[in-house]
Structure 1
Amino acid sequence: MFDYVIIGAGLSGSVIAERIANVLNQKVLIIEKRNHIGGNCYDYKDENNIIIHKYGPHLFHTDYKEVVDYLSNFTDWEIYHHRVLAFIDGKKVPIPFNLNTLYEVFPKTLAEKLERKLLGKYQYNSKVPILDLLKEEDQDLKFLANYIYEKVFKNYTAKQWGLKPEEIDPQVTARVPIYISRDNRYFTDKYQAVPKEGYTKIFERMLNHPNIKIMLNMDFKEVLSIDLESKKIYFMGQEFKGKLIFTGPIDELFEYKFGDLPYRSLDLKFERLNMEYFQEVATVNYPNDYDFTRITEFKHIHPTKSEKTTILKEYPKAYQPDRDIPYYPVFTRESQELYNRYKEDAEKFENLILVGRLAEYKYYDMDDIVERALEAFEKEVK
């Protein structure tokens, strides 16, 4: 019998498994529903030798040196600074909306006036959430806020979430702020890079240990169950006395007893094109036009010599359990209250640890989840 069972071979499950195997020298079993490791970070080379992110673009950026140091045990890096354009009124302009964008969308005299007012009110290099800028009393800043809200945020948010921005938790809307700067990079973190050989190689090296066993194509419910009354966990029909680290949807673990937690999902449409490049940067957002939210061209992320290219169009949609991939938790007051009910039940199990976006119903970037997994190992597993 294993000392630990982990549900999910994504970042959180794999990091904890690696630590258990190497630091504690104990046996761990990973149960993964998909036919591959790596979760949503999984990538592969297509027929044109282009590294494709199967579940949408993953860009590593962080200020956590300890996360970079840890992942560097499993990969070399290529420095990569992500740049995004938005298609607005027939032009492609830099986002997050910044001082350069002002001059792209407005006449020079108006742009200069708005720049003076922004710099008079906010610190240079600061980030201002759109919902905060909308509260400004100055008529020029209010005009700017309304323009950005209508052209950049409103329709994109409606497509992405199926909700208005004010209906979404501020931690989501604050992720794409107005940037009082001339820096066209999408992220401003100290460390920005992509793994030289792709993300899948990180997981292969991380999980290459005799103490780690992996069951792919396996729904955890086929081999594991929890008794909601006795608060015991059963594995292969026997009571499991080790620790269960669960990284999947918490409502699924508890058999949806309080109802389904809401998520948004995506339809991902890949296209192979007979041209060297399709667009100017890795990602172009389409807030107001078309049904997709953005187009990503992977050759910009992992440059390779090829006369062909691969692009990805993302179509957000409502999530249906057991049919779709739950990409994004939908943060509302009601969904948080529902999650808290599941969390209270989970805390009654002595040998259950919840880690990850789905288990904790929280939006984690890649660096955040590695940090969280390392912390969970130190505080909850060891």
Structure 2
Amino acid sequence: MPQITLEAARSGPSRQGADSAYDYLIVGAGFAGSVIAERLAEGLGRQVLLIDRRNHIAGNAYDHYDAAGLLVHRYGPHIFHTNAQRIVDYLSRFTQWRPYEHRVLAKVDGQLLPIPINLATLNALYGLSMTSAQAEQFLAERAEPVATIRTSEDVVVNQIGRELYEKFFRGYTRKQWGLDPSALDKSVTSRVPTRTNEDDRYFTDTFQIMPRDGYTRMFERMIDHPRIDLLLSTDFKQVRHAVKFRHVIYCGPIDEYFDFQLGRLPYRSLRFEHQTLEQERYQPVAVVNFPDPEVPYTRITEYKHLTGQTHPRTSISYEFPCDDGDPYYPVPRPENAELYKRYRALAEQTPNVTFLGRLGTYKYYNMDQVVGQALALYRDIEAQSAALPAEAGLDA
């Protein structure tokens, strides 16, 4: 995808004969920004300037070939899964797929055990040979009912009791979020089910697939459009008053857009240590979790499992959650939700700007959910455009 310079953007859209102003300035070239850019350009013929402060597209899904020729995910493993046929149909315009069912092991009591907890996990951990029915009874006897479930600790203890909570959840969650599960919203651990059958897949979605040529190649095809100009290594502040545009779609942190005037919304970040190893395989599955609080990292990822690449060497990454760095995860606590509501109210009073994506709407979304959110926004814009008289203009 050809990139333009800031000087070129000052002159307006690069397509010959276009007006001097862009119809849309889209901030952030990850899933949210790239999908809405493609739809506006292809579906409505809008002139779009897509920018990103990083030097690449694809956001946190960015993948690339390292020095050894191994395809790696720079910002940790991204596994595509969805139940929505329409999401798959849309993305299939830009990629072919390879099937991949994600499996995760957790290092607990010296064993590598399947997570989410299932029948095999329980039997291996306790040296038993229970049936599914016996496992249900086993967990029911250990569950500690919580009258009102508010926190992530409540969710797990209510379902499976404190012993399994301590072994599998507490240490990992404290490392991941920098907070005890008792201080986090129930949504965090509600995402991880407990099973009493032998299904060891991490996800159970209808579609579990990976882009055959990688995420970055999919994004390149998505935004390779004559009405989309791409500007990388560029912050919104650099173009906010330098480029002419009619409407902003902002996929960055909503509090940053408003210069943190109501206070900062907390985010959790990640640091990665990537290594290339002189061996064909390092671990039996793509991801191994380490709930032990004495282990400084949360998980190790081996990317060849995800990509299906054949190579005599392998690449892994160690993942270290932290407070400083690029914002990855909105921190799900009631006080943070209240602060976001105040920013959302401010956004609703701000003309010609729309907030989109995980950071723009301060909510943890999976990749397919972000795509769905962007497509829904496009449908709204399309409907509004169809309802306007021809002479009304973009933002009438």
TM-score (norm 1): 0.88
Structure 1 Cα separation of the partners of residues 214 and 84 of structure 2: 20
Structure 1 Cα separation of the partners of residues 163 and 36 of structure 2: 45
Aligned to 1:304: 309
Conserved 8 A contact 1:130-1:178? no
| SS of residue matched to 1:261 | coil
Structure 2 Cα separation of the partners of residues 30 and 133 of structure 1: 42
In 2 relative to 1, CA 352–118 (structure 1 residues): closer, same or farther, beyond 3 Å? farther
Structure 2 Cα separation of the partners of residues 373 and 156 of structure 1: 32
In 2 relative to 1, CA 176–133 (structure 1 residues): closer, same or farther, beyond 3 Å? closer
Conserved 8 A contact 1:286-1:294? yes
In 2 relative to 1, CA 111–75 (structure 1 residues): closer, same or farther, beyond 3 Å? same
Aligned to 1:15: 35
Aligned to 2:255: 251
Shift of 1:100: 1.2
Structure 2 Cα separation of the partners of residues 275 and 379 of structure 1: 51
Aligned to 2:276: 272
* 1:290 to 2:295 alignment: yes
Identity across the alignment (%): 45
| SS of residue matched to 2:217 | helix
- Letter paired with 2:198: R
Aligned to 2:234: 218
Shift of 1:116: 4.6
Structure 2 counterpart of 1:313, from 293, 302, 318: 318
Structure 2 Cα separation of the partners of residues 50 and 208 of structure 1: 25
Structure 2 counterpart of 1:117, from 115, 134, 137: 137
| SS of residue matched to 2:358 | coil
Structure 1 Cα separation of the partners of residues 94 and 286 of structure 2: 25
Structure 1 Cα separation of the partners of residues 94 and 129 of structure 2: 52
Conserved 8 A contact 2:285-2:302? yes
Structure 2 Cα separation of the partners of residues 273 and 333 of structure 1: 43
Structure 1 counterpart of 2:62, from 32, 39, 42: 42
Alpha-carbon deviations, 1:172-202, whole Å to 9, x = none?
A: 1111221232100000000001000000011
Conserved 8 A contact 2:80-2:210? yes
Aligned to 1:227: none
Conserved 8 A contact 1:158-1:164? yes
Aligned to 1:86: 106
Structure 2 counterpart of 1:152, from 168, 179, 201: 168
Alpha-carbon deviations, 1:52-90, whole Å to 9, x = none?
A: 001110000000100000000000000000000000000
Conserved 8 A contact 2:41-2:47? yes
In 2 relative to 1, CA 112–360 (structure 1 residues): closer, same or farther, beyond 3 Å? closer
Aligned to 1:236: 242
Aligned to 1:124: none
Conserved 8 A contact 2:156-2:189? no
Conserved 8 A contact 2:153-2:182? no
Structure 2 counterpart of 1:189, from 205, 208, 225: 205
Aligned to 1:56: 76
In 2 relative to 1, CA 167–119 (structure 1 residues): closer, same or farther, beyond 3 Å? closer
Structure 1 window deviating more from structure 2 (247-256 vs 371-380): it is: 371-380
Conserved 8 A contact 1:102-1:111? no
How big is the alpha-carbon RMSD for the aligned residues of Structure 1 and Structure 2? 2.0
Shift of 1:237: 7.1
Structure 1 window deviating more from structure 2 (178-187 vs 81-90): it is: 178-187
Shift of 1:114: 5.0
Conserved 8 A contact 1:49-1:304? no
- Structure 2 gap segments, 5+ residues each: 1-20, 142-148, 386-396
* Matched residues, number: 353
In 2 relative to 1, CA 116–212 (structure 1 residues): closer, same or farther, beyond 3 Å? closer
| SS of residue matched to 2:203 | coil
Aligned to 1:372: 373
* 1:207 to 2:223 alignment: yes
- Letter paired with 1:327: Y
Aligned to 2:158: 135
Structure 2 Cα separation of the partners of residues 181 and 221 of structure 1: 53
- Structure 1 gap segments, 5+ residues each: 122-127, 137-143, 225-234
The aligned runs of 1:283-362 (5 Å cut-off) are 283-288=287-292, 289-319=294-324, 324-362=325-363
Conserved 8 A contact 1:28-1:213? yes
Aligned to 1:229: none
Conserved 8 A contact 2:32-2:371? yes
| SS of residue matched to 2:161 | helix
In 2 relative to 1, CA 347–307 (structure 1 residues): closer, same or farther, beyond 3 Å? same
Conserved 8 A contact 2:155-2:186? no
Conserved 8 A contact 1:50-1:302? no
Alpha-carbon deviations, 1:293-317, whole Å to 9, x = none?
A: 0000001111222221110000111
Alpha-carbon deviations, 1:147-191, whole Å to 9, x = none?
A: 210000000011000111121111111112212321000000000
Alpha-carbon deviations, 1:117-151, whole Å to 9, x = none?
A: 16989xxxxxx987345236xxxxxxx52121000
Aligned to 2:10: none
Aligned to 2:177: 161
Conserved 8 A contact 2:153-2:181? no
